[in-house]
Structure 1
Amino acid sequence: MTVAIRVAATEDELAQVWAVRRTVFVEEQQIPAELEYDEYDATSAHLLAVGEDGTPLGTARLISGAEALTITGGVADRVLLGRLAVVAAARGTGLGARLVRAVEELGRERGAKELELHAQVQALGFYERLGYAAEGPEYDDAGIPHRTMTRVL
């Protein structure tokens, strides 16, 4: 499967990001839309994965700067990966891992030394295979059990 991953830069590309997130999180996982879209969306970098026919297949966002400091409890040089979503038709193709690596690279370009993410417990193994380690207790986020995970970049 040929897929291009890029930072969403146009209104159309951002609309595709929102469409993937709506499909995966709001429709499939039944997360209320008012919880899925938040104040960090306006200042985050959103990666968009599209197939060779232009179909949006996945997305992830990178939170950096002051917003990341707020979320990570003030840990310097740490960015946050969030809202990783891959449409059902592209799952199992390695696209999720490619999106994680693309966020890591973008984080490095922005001077980050560590990356933090808040993983759904059912996805811990996926992130562990990519080098992330869980830290702290399990917690509820939008009715779904999560754990914080980190990785040195």
Structure 2
Amino acid sequence: MNLARAIHFDESDQRVYANPARTGEWCISGGFEFSDWTDADLTGKARQAFANGWLGLETGGRVTFVAVTTVAPGELTALTDLLAEHFVTYHGAPSVDQARPVAAEEIAQMTDLCEDHPPNTLLTVARELTQSGVREAYRVIETKDAGLEQFAIHGSTDESGSD
């Protein structure tokens, strides 16, 4: 099963996002955070987070590029719990137990997006506000011999977390 990790090619994300994601952390689209935004919210660094930022699950930060990476089933459970906690802390969900199904759905959408791509495929997201809400479009950048192993940080697929 595949998911995506934050990847940085330079320091630009440190400048364009108020809260940049950490290199190597697992990411999802995170478009739900903008569901009640209007044009008035789209200024400065918030605009950049809206327009092109993936959501880091550990920091809640944003990143421009993610790389498809294999994820272990045990990690998905932990990430689902982490996102459920995020929903409680930042979005008013009544409890982690009640937020868990929504978190699982968000993670499943990201695994579906990543599933047909080989490791190290890069993904970007572009968002816009429309009459019916936030519209997301994804771009796939295949790495064909790009040597991304020198940039991408991969975690262990061992559920114990050891490499």
Confirm or deny a common fold (TM above 0.5).
no
TM-score, length basis structure 1: 0.29
Query: Which has the larger share of strand?
Result: 1
TM-score, length basis structure 2: 0.28
Compare CA radii of gyration and give the structure with the larger one. Answer: 2
